[in-house]
Amino acid sequence: MIKSRKHAQSRFNQHMSAALAAMLLPVAAHAVAAADEQAQAPQTLSEVKVQGAAEDTFKADRAVSAKYTEKLVDTAQTITVIKKELIEQQGAVSLTEALRNTPGVGAFFLGENGNTNTGDAIFMRGFDTSGSIYVDGVRDVGSITRDIFNIEQIDVLKGPAGTDNGRSAPTGSINLVSKRPQLEDAYLGSATVGSGKQRRATADVNQVINADSGTAFRLNALVQDSENPARDMIKNKRWAVAPSLAFGLNGPTRFYLNFLHVKQDNIPDGGVLTIGLPGYTPPYLAAATTGTPAAIAASAAAAAADRIRLAPLATAPRVNPKNFYGSEKDHDNVTADQFTARLEHDFANGVKLQNTTRYGKNKQDYLLTAFMATSANLIVTGTPDTWTMARSTLTYKDQTNKVLTNQTNVTAEFGTGAVKHTLVAGLEFITEKQTNYTLATTAGTAITRTSIYNPNPATPQTFTYARTGAQAVGNTDTQAVYLFDTAKFGDWIINGGLRLDHFSTTYDSVAIQGTATPQTIPVGTRIATNLKVGDTLVNGKLSALYKLTPESSVYALAASSKAPPGGTNFSLSANANSAANPNYDPQETTNYEFGGKWDLLQQKLSLSAAVYRTTVKNEVEQDATSGTYFQTGEKRNQGVELGVTGEITRGWLVSAGYTRMSAKVTNGRAVAADGEVYLAYTPKQSFTSWTSYTLPFGLTVGGGVRFNDQLRRGTDGAVGTPSHIDSYWVADAMASYPLNKHIDLRLNVYNLTDKEYVAAINKSGYRYTPGQPRSGSLTANIKF
């Protein structure tokens, strides 16, 4: 094991060196271009568009939030801003794809047992962040794969965000910034074709209605019907429209009306069997160690027989990563609607008011033929082409999410002697509701066996399903008040924030008794459960930043966050082993961060570095002696993160980040079979990069490499199966060229070396998601 780690570290260093060298290759191209520019000065002057290069930079000056009043270089926190220019160069179309531009963030967790995560299942710095996704500063609920056709930029805020947003993930939040009307006519569109039968078209039309009154209309639209180059049967089909209307854009009072409608009709991906992957061993039955002597002996005999029966799996070849083990009936249909009204007003004394009201509804109809390659489900007699697996169950989701929010922010600037203050005060009222209906098979054959190496999605499943009458309704009402003060004096910037959230969560469920019990509860009896929890959460943050120069700073930050029972999924539980039990205290997170930021090259290039420690307390653990559950668990993630974003020279853009994390369970049950106390789904090291260079005659070439270190899965008693997935490097490339002033073509090639890798693994290790193979897309961008 030690040798393996040294070799992995050596490979990482070699690849890192190669990656950095690759990023520096444009220097040579720039030198050649400069020589050519001198030799052909008249022609160069007529072709180069300095303004265009400036508009296309990857660097953002600020995060888009009323609570962050300073430039990024003067903000004491790790914040990654992913601009649409970078997203478009890479051909990214979903939130998960765009988040590849920040290290240590990704969809690493496939799901638990036979269930598969749906929507944007994002992990950040070792913890699930899928419940901390916001659109224009307002929480976005529902299980949906978010398309970014209507997104201007993505702000990734790392570290506890409790003071900013209330209840949230321990390690940060993600804010998507929507496109808004502008006082300039623009007509943009794109059409993409590519591997996996990718077909996609977008439109972005901005029309000034009345320049004098500052009225403008903008429409963003999308249609996509694509398959998956990595997988058979998987489909990503959706269409969406996002009209928006703005009034008073050139005045002190501005009013925006936005509507978003998204319709998705997908075939979900349940993953691929891990048979044949490095580290895989057959899922033998485990012999019992307790009970009567006769029972122990019988269990040992059964386990020995099982080892003989499943022995062929130990040397079995890897299954084809394109295999689809589901059914033609599988589907993931989502309808989402979101209406937003925002009022902004600038008062004469410098005070600014922003009020946002939003209503959103998200409905999901989901069916997946799930599978788990457990001992009981496998038949491996004969040759591998005759081996079969029972598809274990049908996974349903009939879920509706609703959210109604009103948020008010007031920003004021004033002075007290030599100290200049920027004050942000706010109120927020949120009502969130999630309804889950229970579905069941009503007729026909629903579960069938399928071949392990040659699965057939068309295997007949003649069943129907319907709601049983059982359901669960979770509702959370929140009233919040918050205050931030940024004080500047001399070279110091001190920021403090405090937020109070009063919340009330109710959970009402109705179950239908399916079988008779010793208590003789009749079949069909409706069993109601009513649970409630409420509290006031107090979160705060304090930072001190010192300006070394006008373009650089060093800082220290302390912040907190809390997540109460049911705070993420609106579900409460009476089970003692569940963190959703209303008798438990909120999960508490503290974060300490020290870092520095520098803006170089006339503020066109940004460098950042930070070290941090995040500690999460009140995790539920079981006492080994008494069997009683207590909130004694504690987890910790500490590490370093580096970043560079911006323009090195005219036409040469770069975005890169590196993180190294040490994520452990500091008090509580180890989550590894070997007793190691790591956090699951957390790569120890991650590196991401993208660079592009525009030549004088208009051709832009670019590319990048990504690295994710070894990723360990969680364990729940599964025997065999890989305990981790190997590290991997992936390289992508891009070239674009303007045919004329209205049309340019862009070619993207992904995974240049056709590296086979595991992108995500499920908790028990029976299933994984294959990484994207070598594939490509061609996009025509149109503008008038």
CA nearest to 184, candidates 251, 255, 246: 246
Q: Which amino acid is at 535?
A: D
Higher pLDDT, 722 or 346: 346
Say if residue 477's pLDDT is above 90. yes
CA nearest to 433, candidates 475, 471, 404, 405: 475
Identify the pLDDT of residue 716: 63
Q: Which residues pair with 713 in a beta bridge?
A: none
Q: Please compute the mean of the pLDDT values over residues 558-579 and round it to a whole number.
A: 90
| Of 30-34, 126-130, 202-206, minimum mean pLDDT range | 30-34
Identify the pLDDT of residue 715: 67
Give the pLDDT confidence of 424-434 residue by residue, as tens digits. 999 999 999 99
pLDDT band for position 26 (cuts 50, 70, 90)? very low
Say if residue 497's pLDDT is above 80. yes
Tokens of 642: 């580096």
The secondary element (H helix, E strand) that includes residue 492 is: strand 492-512
pLDDT band for position 677 (cuts 50, 70, 90)? low
Identify the pLDDT of residue 43: 41
Beta carbons within 10 angstroms of residue 352's beta carbon: 17
User: Measured in whole angstroms, how far is the alpha carbon of residue 702 from the centre of its chain?
Assistant: 25
Higher pLDDT, 160 or 430: 430
Distance of CA 637 to CAs 568, 608, 609, 666, 683, Å? 21, 20, 17, 10, 11
Q: Which three-class secondary structure state does DSSP give residue 90? A: helix
The secondary element (H helix, E strand) that includes residue 41 is: helix 41-47
Helices (H), 159-292: 162-165
Give the pLDDT confidence of 169-210 residue by residue, as tens digits. 888 999 999 999 999 999 999 999 999 999 999 999 999 999
Residues of the chain with pLDDT > 90: what percent?
65
Rounded CA-CA distance 76/595 in Å is: 8
The contacts of residue 649 (CB under 8 Å, 6+ apart) are: 30
CA nearest to 495, candidates 23, 75, 71: 75
Q: Please compute the mean of the pLDDT values over residues 458-481 and round it to a whole number.
A: 90
Say if residue 89's pLDDT is above 80. yes
Average pLDDT taken over every residue of the chain: 88
Q: Please compute the mean of the pLDDT values over residues 131-156 and round it to a whole number.
A: 92
Give the pLDDT confidence of 220-263 residue by residue, as tens digits. 999 999 999 999 999 999 999 999 999 999 999 999 999 999 99
Q: Please compute the mean of the pLDDT values over residues 659-673 and round it to a whole number.
A: 77
Beta carbons within 10 angstroms of residue 700's beta carbon: 19
pLDDT band for position 118 (cuts 50, 70, 90)? confident
Tokens of 547: 């300006």
- Contact between 203 and 219 under an 8 Å Cβ cutoff? The reply is yes
- Contact between 608 and 74 under an 8 Å Cβ cutoff? The reply is no
Say if residue 688's pLDDT is above 70. yes
Residues of the chain with pLDDT > 70: what percent?
90
Rounded CA-CA distance 506/223 in Å is: 38
Rounded CA-CA distance 630/622 in Å is: 6
Phi, psi for residue 27 in degrees, rounded to 5: -60, -45
| Of 31-40, 502-511, 568-577, 622-631, minimum mean pLDDT range | 31-40
Report the range out of 144-158, 434-448, 619-633 with the highest average pLDDT.
Answer: 144-158
- Contact between 314 and 281 under an 8 Å Cβ cutoff? The reply is yes
Q: Please compute the mean of the pLDDT values over residues 738-759 and round it to a whole number.
A: 96
Distance of CA 293 to CAs 288, 289, 296, Å? 10, 10, 5
Phi, psi for residue 302 in degrees, rounded to 5: -65, -40
Q: Please compute the mean of the pLDDT values over residues 146-157 and round it to a whole number.
A: 95
Identify the pLDDT of residue 28: 36
- Contact between 469 and 436 under an 8 Å Cβ cutoff? The reply is no
Distance of CA 139 to CAs 174, 481, 503, 630, 758, Å? 10, 16, 15, 31, 31
| Of 157-161, 597-601, 647-651, minimum mean pLDDT range | 157-161
Q: Please compute the mean of the pLDDT values over residues 749-753 and round it to a whole number.
A: 97
- Contact between 482 and 145 under an 8 Å Cβ cutoff? The reply is no
Q: Please compute the mean of the pLDDT values over residues 359-381 and round it to a whole number.
A: 92
Q: Which residues pair with 488 in a beta bridge?
A: 420, 493
Report the range out of 328-332, 392-396, 509-513, 553-557 with the highest average pLDDT.
Answer: 553-557
Say if residue 764's pLDDT is above 80. yes
Higher pLDDT, 665 or 81: 81
DSSP code for 741 = S
Rounded CA-CA distance 732/90 in Å is: 8
DSSP code for 311 = G
pLDDT band for position 472 (cuts 50, 70, 90)? very high
Q: Which three-class secondary structure state does DSSP give residue 268? A: coil
Distance of CA 527 to CAs 105, 511, 524, Å? 41, 5, 9
Rounded CA-CA distance 217/241 in Å is: 13
User: What is the model's pTM?
Assistant: 0.89
Q: Dump the DSSP string for 140-178.
A: --SS---B-TTEEEEEEEES--HHHHSS--TTEEEEEEE
> Cα dihedral sign for 57, 63, 64, 66?
negative
Q: Please compute the mean of the pLDDT values over residues 575-584 and round it to a whole number.
A: 90
CA nearest to 118, candidates 95, 143, 141: 143
Tokens 């690759």, located at residue: 22
Report the range out of 59-63, 119-123, 583-587, 690-694 with the highest average pLDDT.
Answer: 690-694
DSSP code for 154 = E
DSSP code for 500 = E
What's the order of all strands across the beta sheet hosting 105-106?
A: 105-106, 123-124, 127-128
pLDDT band for position 407 (cuts 50, 70, 90)? very high
| Of 193-207, 213-227, 606-620, 656-670, minimum mean pLDDT range | 656-670
Q: Please compute the mean of the pLDDT values over residues 754-783 and round it to a whole number.
A: 93
- Contact between 68 and 75 under an 8 Å Cβ cutoff? The reply is yes
Tokens 């780690």, located at residue: 5
- Residues 249-277: b if buried by 16+ CB within 10 A, e if exposed: beeeebbbebebebebbbbbbbbbbbbeb
Rounded CA-CA distance 58/528 in Å is: 54
Say if residue 35's pLDDT is above 70. no
Q: Dump the DSSP string for 312-360.
A: GGGGPPPPPTT---S-TT-EEEEEEEEEEEEEEEE-TTS-EEEEEEEEE
Identify the pLDDT of residue 465: 85
